[in-house]
Amino acid sequence: MLRKVTLLAAALLLVGGPALANTKVREPEPVAFSFEGPFGRYDQTQLQRGFKVYREVCSACHSMNLVAFRNLGDPGGPFFNPEYSAAKGLTSNDNPVVKALAADTQIADLDSETGDAVQRPGIPADRFPAPFPNVIAAKASNGGLAPPDLSLMAKAREGGPEYIASLLQGYGPPAHGVTLSPGQHYNAYFVGGVIGMAPPLAADKVSFDDGTKSTVRQQAEDVAAFLMWTADPHMEARKQMGFSVLIFLVLFSGLLYASYRRVWRNESH
Amino acid sequence: MSGHSTYVPKTGFERWLDSRLPIIRLANDTIITFPTPKNLNYWWTFGGILSMMLGLQIVTGIILAMHYVPHVDYAFNSVERIMRDVNYGWLIRYMHANGASMFFVAVYIHIFRNLYYGSYKAPREVLWILGCVIYLLMMATAFMGYVLPWGQMSFHGAVVITNLLGAFPIVGDAITTLLWGGFAVDEPTLKRFFSLHYLLPFMIAGVVVLHVWALHVVGQNNPTGIEPKSKADTLPFTPFATVKDGFAMSLFLILFATFVFFMPDALGHADNYIPANPLVTPSHIVPEWYFLPFYAILRAVPDKLMGVIAMFGAIICIFALPWLDTSKVKSMRYRPQAKLYFFIFLVVCVILGFCGAKLPDDQVIPGLTTFKLVDSDLNSFVWLSRISTLYYFAYFLVVMPLLGLFEKPLPTPETISSPVLGGEHKD
C-alpha cells in the first residue's frame, strides 16, 4: 500500500514538480530490526556489537549522558547475564563485564577527604563519561556545533533507528547544485543534505568479537540497534507486560459481556 | 436526585447517618436507582469512560509529580529518570501521556454523540455548557502538561500558543507577560504551568460533579430524543447501565493498552525527545493531534488577530449551539437532512485535523499546480483549511438555525418503547 502511494507520489512528482527534486530529503531505507513489531526483542549479540561501535567510534565526539554502565547489565541490555539478576539476589552492579567496562574509564570526581579534583576508575553506577568537559569545548572542537547527545537519538528523529542506519551509510558526492565548505560533507538522508559529521564508519574499522564480518552496513545497523536500546531500555519488559495486560483485558471483557447479556436478558431494547 | 428518592436505610447505622449526612442516599440515588432510558446504545458509554480516564490521569499524574522537577535545567532529565530508573516509571509516564490522547478520543466521541442526538437541547443547555467548560479546561490542562517535559516541541509549542494571546489589542501583551512570568517562555513559565497543570484537573473534577448533578436533574437523553414518559421506558442504573458501561470501559482499555505497551510514542513528536533549546526552532511546529483542527482554523485566516478570533469563535459556537439549533426534534434519526450535514461536518473536522498537521503551502494533491488565489496556490492545505473552516462555521451559524425552520423531519415515535415494539429497530 505504502509502496503504491510512494510510486504514485513519485509519478506525480515527475509530472508536476521537477524543481522540488533537489531539496527532497531521502527517506530512510527499511531495515528488518529484531525489535520491531509486538513480539520484537533486542538481539543481545547485536547490542554488544553496536556498543563496541559506539565505544570505539561514536563516543570520541558524542556524549551519552543518560546511560550508566550498570544499564548495560540490566534485563534486555547488551551484557545482561541471568547469573547477576534480581532472581539470584544480585544486580547488574555485580556483573563482571559491566564492572570491567566501568573500571576501564576515568571519571572526574572530588577526593572526599581533601576536596581536590581527582580522576578515579569508573564503577557500574557511573554514567558514561562525556568526551568533552562542557558544551563550549564540544563546540570548539567540532567547527562551532556541539555533537548531539546520543542517549535518546533513536527516539528523537523521525524514522528512528532506520534513519540512523541510513544516515551512517548515506555519505556520497554532493548532489547537483550543493556546494560544500571545508568541514562539511554531503549526506542524502540529512535535512538539507549538508552535515558536519565526517563519515564515521569504514569497513573493518571495528573488529567484532563474534566474528561477524565488519562491513559499514553491519556497523551502521548494529549501532542503530544499540541506540534504540539506549533510548528505550525497558522495551522488552513493556511488551511482555503488554501481553499479560491484553490477555487479561480480553478475558475480562468477555466476562463483562456475558454478564451484560445475562443482566439484560429479559429486557427488550 | 431525579424524582423521589427510594432509598430505605436498612441498618441502625444507616438510619443514624441518613438523618445527619444522607451520603449513602446520594450515592444510591446517583448510581443505583437512577432511571436510565432503556434504549441507550454504546455511544452513551463514553461518559463512564471519561470519568475513568480522568481518574487515571489524576492518579498517574500525582505519582509523576513525586519524581518530576519543574526547572528548566532538570525537567527534561527528570522525565528521563522516570522513564529509566523509577520502578515502572515508564509505565506511569506512558499511561499519562497516552491517557491524555485517549481522554480526547473519548471526549470527541462524547461531543459528536451529543451533536447527533441533540442532547444539548432544552432542558439540557446547562448540562451542555458545563460539558463545554470541562472541554475547555481539558484543553488548557493538556497544553500545559505537554510543556512540562521541556523538549523542543514543548518549548516552541508554548512560545507559539502563548504568543497568540498577544494578538488581542490592549490587553494582549499584559496577558502574555502574566502567563510567561517575564518577557519570554522561561523558568517562571514552566513553574506556573506545572502548578496550574496540577490544579486544573481538580477543577475539571469539580465541574464534572456539577455536570453529573445537572444530568441527574434532567435525566439522560436517548437515541430517539423522546423523553421517558413512564416507568416502562427506563431501567435502574445498576445493574443495567453499570454492566454495559463496564464492558465498554474494558474495550476502551484494550485500545488504551495497545498504545501504552506497543506504540507509546506513536501519538507524540520525535522532536520532544530533544531537550528544549530556545536558539534552535524546529522546522515544523505542530500541536498535539487533538488541537489540530483549531490550529488549522487559526492558520486559515491570513490576519493574526482575526485568526485567533476565528479559533476562539470556533469554540464559542459549540457553547452557543443550544440556541443556534432551531429544530424541535432532538435526534437526527428523524432529521435526514440534518444527518447529511452532520456527517459532512464530521468529515470536515477530520480534514481540518489533517490540514493542521501539514505545512500551509504543501500541496493536497502532490505535483498538481493550479493557479494562485490571493496568497497561495488553490491546491494547498491552506485553501483546503479555508474551505473547511467556512463549512465549520456555516454548520453552526447557517445550517443549524435555518434547517430547523425549513426541514421536514420524519414522524417521531410517541414513546421510547413504541419504536421497539413496532419493530423499527434500525438506526
CATH number for position A217: 1.10.760.10
How far apart are alpha carbons B358 and B389 in whole angstroms?
15
Second-level CATH architecture of B34-421: Up-down Bundle (1.20)
Is residue B236's pLDDT more than 80?
A: yes
Q: Check CB contact of A242 with chain B, cutoff 8 Å.
A: yes
Overall average pLDDT of the B395-420 stretch: 89
Low-confidence stretches of chain A (pLDDT beneath 50): 1-22
The vertex-A245 CA angle with A243 and A247, nearest 5°, equals 65
Q: Check CB contact of B77 with chain A, cutoff 8 Å.
A: yes
Mutation for A interface: B42, B243, B361, B378, most A CBs within 10 A = B243
Of the CA atoms within 13 Å of residue A49, those in its CB half-sphere come to 27
Count other Cβ atoms within 10 Å, centred on residue B155.
29
pLDDT tens profile B160-181: 999 999 999 999 999 999 999 9
* Residue B385 grid cell: 483549511
Residue B420's closest chain A neighbor by CA? A269
Interface contact B270-A155, CB threshold 8 A = yes
Residues of B in contact with A157 (CB under 8 A): 270
How far apart are alpha carbons B109 and A83 in whole angstroms?
51
Domain ranges of chain B: 1-33, 34-421
In-domain check, residue A108: no
Q: Which helix (H) or strand (E) holds A194?
A: strand A194-195
In-domain check, residue A62: no
Q: Check CB contact of B279 with chain A, cutoff 8 Å.
A: no
CB nearest B251 (choices: A155, A253, A263): A253
Residues B110/B121, Cβ–Cβ less than 8 Å: no
Length of chain A: 269
Q: What is the end-to-end Cα distance of chain B in Å, rounded? A: 31
Interface contact A13-B239, CB threshold 8 A = no
Overall average pLDDT of the B182-187 stretch: 95
In-domain check, residue A248: yes
* Residue tagged 524514522 (cell numbers): A159
Interface contact A239-B261, CB threshold 8 A = yes
Q: Check CB contact of B281 with chain A, cutoff 8 Å.
A: no
Number of domains in chain A: 1
In-domain check, residue A229: yes
Amino acid at B25: R
Residue A245's closest chain B neighbor by CA? B257
Residues of A in contact with B366 (CB under 8 A): 9, 12-13, 16-17
Q: Check CB contact of B280 with chain A, cutoff 8 Å.
A: no
Residues of B in contact with A256 (CB under 8 A): 243, 246-247, 250
Using the 8-state DSSP alphabet, how is residue B237 labeled? I
Residues of B in contact with A16 (CB under 8 A): 366-369
Amino acid at A105: T
pLDDT tens profile B66-112: 999 999 999 999 999 999 999 999 999 999 999 999 999 999 999 99
Interface contact B270-A158, CB threshold 8 A = yes
pLDDT on residue B80: 98
Q: Phi, psi at residue A107, to the nearest 5°?
A: -115, 135
Of B48, B236, B222, B228, residue with least CA distance to B121: B222
Overall average pLDDT of the B182-203 stretch: 97
Please give the residue range of the domain that contains residue A172: 25-38+148-255
pLDDT on residue A10: 41
What distance lies between CA A115 and its chain's CA centroid?
A: 37
The shortest C-alpha distance from A259 to chain B (Å) reads 7
Where are the strands (E) in B154-289, listed by range?
234-236
Interface contact A263-B254, CB threshold 8 A = no
pLDDT on residue A178: 87
pLDDT on residue A14: 37
**Where residue B5 falls among pLDDT bands split at 50, 70, 90?**
confident
Residues of A in contact with B421 (CB under 8 A): 268
Residue/partner pairs of B86-95 with CB below 8 Å, 24 or more apart: B90/A234, B90/A238, B91/A238, B91/A241, B91/B260, B92/B60, B92/B63, B92/B64, B93/B60, B93/B64, B94/A238, B94/B260, B94/B261, B94/B264, B95/B56, B95/B60, B95/B260
Of A55, A140, A164, residue with least CA distance to A102: A55
Residues of B in contact with A228 (CB under 8 A): none
* Residue B209 grid cell: 460533579
User: Considering only residues 35 to 74 of chain A, which have any Cβ-Cβ distance to chain B shorter than 8 Å?
Assistant: 38, 66, 71
pLDDT tens profile B25-65: 999 999 999 999 999 999 999 999 999 999 999 999 999 99
Residue/partner pairs of A257-261 with CB below 8 Å, 24 or more apart: A257/B247, A259/B243, A259/B246, A259/B247, A260/B243, A260/B244, A260/B246, A260/B247
Q: Check CB contact of B19 with chain A, cutoff 8 Å.
A: no
Q: Check CB contact of A192 with chain B, cutoff 8 Å.
A: no
pLDDT tens profile B332-381: 999 999 999 999 999 999 999 999 999 888 888 888 888 888 888 888 99
pLDDT on residue B419: 57
The shortest C-alpha distance from A189 to chain B (Å) reads 16
Interface contact A268-B366, CB threshold 8 A = no
How far apart are alpha carbons B211 and B230 in whole angstroms?
25
Q: Phi, psi at residue B35, to the nearest 5°?
A: -75, 125
In-domain check, residue A171: yes
pLDDT on residue B85: 96
In-domain check, residue A195: yes
pLDDT on residue B3: 57
Residues of A in contact with B39 (CB under 8 A): 269
Query: What ipTM describes this predicted complex?
Result: 0.91
Overall average pLDDT of the B274-293 stretch: 94
pLDDT on residue A23: 52
In-domain check, residue A249: yes
How far apart are alpha carbons B327 and B349 in whole angstroms?
23
